[in-house]
Structure 1
Amino acid sequence: MGAADQFDGLQQPKQQPGPPLQILSVPAHGAPSQSPHPQQQPPQQQTTHKQQPAPQQPLSQHQSQQRSVKRPRPVKSCTECRKRKLRCDRLCPCSQCQKSNRACRYAADADGQPDSDASDVEVPEPGRPPKRNCPPGNTPSATSIAGDPSTIATAVAAAKNGDASGLPLLEELSLRMERLEKQVMRSPAATDLSVSRVNAATADTIRGLSVKNGAKRTRFFGQGSSRVMLNLFDDAKAFIHQHQSIAGGRQVLSDFRAAHHFIHENWTKALAPISVYVDSMMPIQKRMSDILPPKDVCDRLIASYVDSSETIYRILHIPSFMDQYNMYWSGRQQFPHFLPQLLAVLSTASRFETKSKGILHERADGVHNPTSCALVRSWLDSLKGKQRVEFESLQVEVLLLHAQRMVTQRTNELWAQVGYIVRNAMSMGLHRDPLEFGPRITVFQGELRRRLWFTIMDIDVHLSIALNMPTSMREGDFTCRPPRNLDDAELFEGMRELPPSKPIDQITDNQLQVYGAMTLPVRMKVAYLVNNIDSIRDYQEVLDVGMKLDRFLEDINYLFPRQGILNDTQKSKMWRSRVILDMHARRPLLALYRSLAMGTPDAPSQITRAHLRSSMVILKYLDEIDPRQPYFEIITAMYHQMLKHDITQAALSVCYYIQAAHRSSENMMGSYQRQSPEWGGDDYPLYTPESLSIWSPERMIGTVEKALEILTRHASGNDTKDLLTLTLVLETVRKPEPRTDDIVHGLYSVLDLLLRSSNTTLEKVRAAPQSTFRPDGYIHGHAQMSNPAVAAQQYGGWLIWDGWD
């Protein structure tokens, strides 16, 4: 019986007498699911359909005489077991009825009515006890046991007097109590979480809307946005509203704003495509071939792409792609879709494997990502009619989306683009399983369609959860089956049938995607719950989904163990695989618990601890990698690029718990004065909230500082706003009573590191032409600036962002 039924039973004691005893029993294996309280049937209706009511008794006797060759088979099983064709042990009550909480009844011994057309001859089975007669109405049912204390007292007294008639009742009670204890131990929080109403955070800490230009320009922000999470920290908001009256406050915010515009403009220039390729009148295929680097560079970048990107997102069939790749360099004719695919692959790999990071015009060791993406987009836009529903064209769309993720600052644009890709894939029938279309779709093409469909679904769920948006599809909207755990070499054109799928713990080219497909329905459920968090009435559904995600996280450590790997390259690959899968389950878990764990005065400890734990795990991923290894910088850059929004959200979440620890008169989350164990002994996929070691505020501060340093060293584009928010929040929660001069000093420290990472100085930033800046929205032109409450109301509490977009 599922957890949902357990919680329902605990909430409705009046409808189900004796709920603990009724709910915790497990139906017999192979038996159909039964209601905890089966309706009591009249005695004449409890036999099989061949038994007739009393007025028709002469007709029954006449039929019995016509079958004189057979003797009536004595009834030895209880009526419930006979109806369900179960093996009955003939006890009273029998084990089958005990398991299913049914009233166990036997037909009377004197009843000679035949109950079945089976053979009359029955050989006594050795070892089976004789039937114990239980007259109808006298059998102690589960309801009578739970609700009548006198029955229990009578049974106990009978046992003390040596009467064996009360022993079955006591045995049943003992078994039921044992099952109850086991269930309570497995679900320690069920009773106290399911009965209480969900208290989600206030609306301004869950979502927000930026309204500008007379409400003609609006933008929605979800619960993971730094703008929204800033509303959880009153001291940080007060610093912003009162910055003009704080010594150094106005200047440090002005310097941050100038640095933001300086870095953002340089980033915008770097992302501009090279016009000589984009605006040329040459054929698109010629322009794409001209931008390619030498073959040895392409070989290295393709190997890097296959190793790092074709993991949970399976887009290409690598053997087929490499065949076309070799044909291209040998001068033979290739398919028209190959060059767009190759250029998108090289763009993705150049982001991490080149000194230019794919954004500088120097292309000796890679390609320029913006130019490549622009050329691929031009090729896609040039397709006509039927070409748009080619499978290879859809592959190019997904590859382009993946390449744009490497450099774009607008996640909402990617979310809108993946919505188009989902509908395009549906128009091609990818949402239906290939077997539904018979032999017209080959076995090979069918498996590639499954892989690409689940890749598209995975990207859609990931972006939807990140933006607090609904997914394009829900569970049940598609029938496409998950792909099999097979190597690419096992799939080829002309194959007649698919090989059996390998066990999930066996490493293959498709292992990560297969595991991701297993978790996809639960992650889709998270996206739905997060978007409807205001309408959830109790914690039952949230806890059910959260426990499923916890189990997925536990499995990951068994699939990718940390021990027994001696090769550094294998350690790096194993770490990357473990982090990819861990984030795909941990990111939804954080989103699910975020509005329940933060911003509510009485958040359940189970949810709060799990949320804090997952936030710390994200910030400590890199602790498993030796910084002396030559690939450490590449991994750090990849960690930042792919998870920087998750890192920022996790760091702000940890700051919330630092603030809570300081403000609580007594430790609300456990004895945080104890120093928690070192990370080396912290096996993060394996934990229970009850045994969780809570980190001290000092250690949490150190963890956030390390994450802030990584974010600052690799900052680009619009990252300055998130850095300012995180730094301001950290400085206001660092001490129970923050001082304004300490806050200003902390802000300047991060600003200095940011400028050094950008190869500039504060003097250059301040000397930048003012004409390129927009009007200073939070220093000039606001009459209500002297009244922080009015200003906060007018600008939605985001006064700092006005003029930054």
Structure 2
Amino acid sequence: MAGVPTNDSLRHSSKRPRPVISCLECRRKKLKCDRTRPCQQCIKAHRVDFCSYQPGQEPEPGESEDSNKRARLANLGGQLNGSTTTTTGLDNHVNQLNLSTTAGPGVLETLTARVAHVERLLGVRNILSGTFPHAHSFVQSFLASGGDSRIGKVAQELRILHDALKLLHCPPRSLTSSATKAEIRELIPSLQVCQKLTETYFDNLEHCFRILHQPTFVGQLADYFTQPSQASDFLPQLVGVLSIAAILGIDQDCIDVGAVSDGRLIRASVSFIEDYIRSLSYKKRNTIAAFQTRSLLMLLQCMRLDRQSELWELTGSILRQALVMGMDRDPSERIEACTPFEAELRRRLWMSVVEMDMMMSILCNMPCLIPDFTCRAPKNLDDLELLSEGLDALPSRPFDEWTDGLCQCFLANSIKQRLHGCRDLQSSPDPNYDHLLSHTRLLEQVLQNLPSPLRFNSPSDQAGKSSARLMARMEVDITIRRPLMHLYTPFAYANDERDAFSEARAGFLQSCLMVTNYQDLFDPKFSELYVDRPTGYWDFFFNVYRHEINQSILGLCLEIKRLANATDIVQVTNRSPAGWRGPSYTRPSLVHAVNSILEPMTRRIAHAGADMKDLAYLTIVFVSSRLPKPTDGAIIESLDDLVAACRLQLEKERLTSTRGRGPFDRQCDNNSTSTTTPSFDFDPAWMNIPILSEDFNFPTVTPFDLDVS
């Protein structure tokens, strides 16, 4: 019949080849491609150079970029606000936000309005405008200033300094390179150096997160140098451990390993481990060894200061894998029996996953994803004791004895309290202050009941005074204070003078002071750390705990502003049956505390991870909060002092001056951003504050005394 296709024509049409519209790399890997150039899949795989299209099938300019951005913004709005905002409404906001791929000359002028639209869209409260109104108005005028005005000249000076620091601090993630297994093996140092960096890693970074078993790893390391061709599953773990120790950089061996081939080991480490994980079969991917490798990747990316959005996604994938492997249930409940050694490893890994998720949920201002679990806390034992034949019958040691697992075991006792507190805070837009306060009191009690080996003032042997033990004590304290400060935040920013709010503000203030005081513990100018390069610990503190430091400084500024009269005193109230009372603080003492943390931030301006944007904001907020009647002139003078102090510090570090022609005068690559650039979606330290554009990125430093007479 006419018009009815014959069987031959049907067979012919079914064999017609489909056009190749995906990029060739996505087609090869059988992944969904978004048809941008480079596409998101190639960006995630750090294979931007391989993103190409079949001739004739190249994407039209801007073909899917706008729709992808709308989709990502819609997804973000749904996650953060839990709303059902329509696509049409989002489209209107996207048009207003001017989400272009390149920053045009009008970025600074439209920036404040852009962030205001995002905040209204996501239902975010603007802390800066509500709590520090003068700082807010100054930032608006600062962003819109012309080059001829006094404020415009300061802005230009900060831009030049920022560009100089971007050239100086090339983050590993912006220089990511790929490497084959043979190339990676060429970068592995000698057995002796590997053993030293392995010891550095386990001494300093296996405290709150327990990922690897040291005796097993050391044995595998020896086997690797005997038969390297048969250790393909161990090599990614070795690369991760060496890279983490090299980034910590507390001795010359760490620095030397990190500098080999222009730092290629660190730059290629993430992509090498990711490629290895992708190559595993489903069955092998769900083994303890593969799970350890993926968890190690998370720690490595934290140390490399990779984007928090990437860390959030990685944490989610690790949690999903843990649930697939049934780690949320205690090994004793498993149908498939496992050895006592494997059972302890599973408990350690699950507690590490819970700590990771809780940390990232707070840092990214996202909900905790951990479901209810029955997995018990691991035993407080040394790693060697896990190899004992009678491990099942071996009792856990008391908390007054130091062991390899003490930090994690002690934290595991309060992990459900901290988790429930975060859930209560995130579950409703209108917090139940009574519930939140009860959570804070429990966590304050946990801090008061720290066992002797985890106390800074406890008498201990020489081993207890080592730098690694100091690190462990700080990590445990901040791990508890992070959710505690998170719970205190609604009280701190509420304009309420009831006793419960005063108690919470005093507790928040004490935690802010504790966090900032840790700077003195690691500052090479004052501390006595018995390592070749103590600045490694200093950088670790400022880089890894950047969010907590910024939050603490803002909290101190808030209290300085609240204490309008110099005679006012804030007293930490009773929180325990024993009637414990904290110290009292005056406004001058709080001003001194802020100065004491801002000064060393300037001294380390030439160090990796320094971010001028942080410093510019903190300077503006601090000056506006400490002066009874803040003026734009006073803030501009402080910013002038900031620029001068930073330049002076750079010259002290024997770096090229930022004035005149030189490497610091070159324009930065628009595609390269600072590792610590805050963004409204994944950086709650600045989530509620108008954001300076990528062109206005500054590093973290503040050397001078910000006192303004």
**8 Å contact kept, 1:409–1:717:** no
| Alignment CA distance shift 1:564-1:231 (3 Å) | same
Report the secondary structure of 2:413's partner residue: helix
**8 Å contact kept, 1:389–1:424:** yes
2:305 paired residue among 384, 405, 408? 408
**8 Å contact kept, 2:211–2:296:** yes
5 Å matches for 1:216-231?
228=127, 231=130
Give the aligned residue type for 1:251. K
Deviation at 1:290, TM superposition (A): 1.5
Deviation at 1:760, TM superposition (A): 4.6
Q: Structure 1, unaligned stretches of length 5 or more? A: 1-205, 672-683, 775-794
2:445 paired residue among 551, 556, 562? 551
**8 Å contact kept, 2:173–2:306:** no
Q: Which residue of 2 aligns with 1:703?
A: 593
Q: Which residue of 2 aligns with 1:627?
A: 527
1:285 paired residue among 172, 181, 184? 181
Alignment TM-score, normalising by the size of structure 2: 0.70
Measured in 1, the distance between the counterparts of 2:461 and 2:387 equals: 34
Measured in 1, the distance between the counterparts of 2:129 and 2:400 equals: 42
Deviation at 1:261, TM superposition (A): 3.8
2:386 paired residue among 478, 491, 502? 491
**8 Å contact kept, 1:350–1:366:** no
1:655 paired residue among 557, 567, 576? 557
Deviation at 1:361, TM superposition (A): 6.8
Measured in 2, the distance between the counterparts of 1:444 and 1:771 equals: 51
Q: Which residue of 2 aligns with 1:176?
A: none
**8 Å contact kept, 1:482–1:517:** yes
Deviates more, 1:574-583 or 1:508-517: 574-583
Deviation at 1:399, TM superposition (A): 0.4
1:289-345 Cα deviation digits (max 9, x unpaired): 112122232122111101001111111111111111111123366443211001101
Deviation at 1:601, TM superposition (A): 4.0
Measured in 2, the distance between the counterparts of 1:208 and 1:595 equals: 19
Q: Which residue of 1 aligns with 2:218?
A: 322
| Alignment CA distance shift 1:229-1:500 (3 Å) | farther
Measured in 1, the distance between the counterparts of 2:272 and 2:610 equals: 25
Q: Which residue of 2 aligns with 1:180?
A: none
Measured in 2, the distance between the counterparts of 1:765 and 1:511 equals: 55
Q: Which residue of 1 aligns with 2:132?
A: 233
Measured in 2, the distance between the counterparts of 1:596 and 1:527 equals: 14
Report the secondary structure of 2:539's partner residue: helix
| Alignment coverage as a number of residue pairs | 557
Measured in 2, the distance between the counterparts of 1:358 and 1:582 equals: 28
2:407 paired residue among 512, 516, 519? 512
Do residues 478 (structure 1) and 373 (structure 2) align? Answer: yes
| Alignment CA distance shift 1:634-1:221 (3 Å) | farther
**8 Å contact kept, 1:470–1:528:** yes
1:436-489 Cα deviation digits (max 9, x unpaired): 225631221111111111111111111111222111114xx2221111111111
Measured in 1, the distance between the counterparts of 2:275 and 2:323 equals: 23
Measured in 1, the distance between the counterparts of 2:141 and 2:350 equals: 51
Q: Which residue of 1 aligns with 2:633?
A: 741
2:614 paired residue among 722, 725, 728? 722
1:295 paired residue among 184, 188, 191? 191
1:756-797 Cα deviation digits (max 9, x unpaired): 3483534259973569569xxxxxxxxxxxxxxxxxxxx997
Q: Which residue of 2 aligns with 1:348?
A: 244
Q: Which has the larger radius of gyration?
A: 1
Deviation at 1:563, TM superposition (A): 3.8
Q: Which residue of 1 aligns with 2:290?
A: 393
Measured in 1, the distance between the counterparts of 2:82 and 2:641 equals: 30
Q: Which residue of 2 aligns with 1:580?
A: 475
Q: Which residue of 2 aligns with 1:466?
A: 363
Q: Which residue of 2 aligns with 1:384?
A: 281
| Alignment CA distance shift 1:797-1:540 (3 Å) | closer
Q: Which residue of 2 aligns with 1:149?
A: none
Q: Which residue of 2 aligns with 1:242?
A: 141
| Alignment CA distance shift 1:317-1:334 (3 Å) | farther
5 Å matches for 1:752-767?
752-755=644-647, 756-757=649-650, 759-763=655-659
Give the aligned residue type for 2:294. E
Measured in 2, the distance between the counterparts of 1:622 and 1:470 equals: 30
**8 Å contact kept, 1:487–1:508:** yes
Give the aligned residue type for 1:723. L
**8 Å contact kept, 2:569–2:586:** no
Deviation at 1:510, TM superposition (A): 0.7
Give the aligned residue type for 2:386. L
Do residues 423 (structure 1) and 323 (structure 2) align? Answer: no
Do residues 440 (structure 1) and 440 (structure 2) align? Answer: no
Give the aligned residue type for 1:560. L
Q: Which residue of 2 aligns with 1:542?
A: 436
Deviation at 1:433, TM superposition (A): 1.4
Measured in 1, the distance between the counterparts of 2:557 and 2:538 equals: 22
| Alignment CA distance shift 1:242-1:439 (3 Å) | closer
Deviation at 1:395, TM superposition (A): 0.7
1:205-246 Cα deviation digits (max 9, x unpaired): x999997654596998999x9985575211111212234399
Deviation at 1:687, TM superposition (A): 11
Give the aligned residue type for 2:568. N
| Alignment CA distance shift 1:274-1:473 (3 Å) | closer
Give the aligned residue type for 2:334. F
**8 Å contact kept, 1:347–1:367:** no
Measured in 2, the distance between the counterparts of 1:355 and 1:750 equals: 32
Deviation at 1:655, TM superposition (A): 0.7
Deviation at 1:587, TM superposition (A): 1.2
Deviation at 1:575, TM superposition (A): 2.5
Q: Which residue of 2 aligns with 1:643?
A: 545
Deviation at 1:720, TM superposition (A): 1.9
| Alignment CA distance shift 1:214-1:617 (3 Å) | same
Deviation at 1:257, TM superposition (A): 3.0
Measured in 2, the distance between the counterparts of 1:710 and 1:686 equals: 35
Report the secondary structure of 2:504's partner residue: helix
Measured in 1, the distance between the counterparts of 2:163 and 2:615 equals: 14
Give the aligned residue type for 2:511. S
Give the aligned residue type for 2:591. I
Measured in 2, the distance between the counterparts of 1:317 and 1:704 equals: 41
Identity of aligned residues (%): 25
1:614 paired residue among 494, 504, 511? 511
Higher relative contact order (CA 8 A, sep 6+): 2
Measured in 1, the distance between the counterparts of 2:231 and 2:288 equals: 13
Give the aligned residue type for 2:430. S
| Alignment CA distance shift 1:771-1:708 (3 Å) | closer
Q: Which residue of 2 aligns with 1:255?
A: 157
Report the secondary structure of 1:669's partner residue: strand
Q: Which residue of 1 aligns with 2:33?
A: none
**8 Å contact kept, 2:163–2:665:** no
Do residues 451 (structure 1) and 351 (structure 2) align? Answer: no
Deviates more, 1:709-718 or 1:484-493: 709-718
Measured in 2, the distance between the counterparts of 1:592 and 1:322 equals: 41
Give the aligned residue type for 1:522. Q
Measured in 2, the distance between the counterparts of 1:241 and 1:299 equals: 53
Q: Structure 2, unaligned stretches of length 5 or more? A: 1-79, 84-89, 100-113, 672-686, 698-709
Deviation at 1:571, TM superposition (A): 4.6
2:643 paired residue among 743, 751, 755? 751
| Alignment CA distance shift 1:285-1:406 (3 Å) | same
Alignment TM-score, normalising by the size of structure 1: 0.62
1:48-93 Cα deviation digits (max 9, x unpaired): xxxxxxxxxxxxxxxxxxxxxxxxxxxxxxxxxxxxxxxxxxxxxx
| Alignment CA distance shift 1:405-1:226 (3 Å) | farther
Deviation at 1:498, TM superposition (A): 4.5
2:568 paired residue among 655, 662, 667? 667
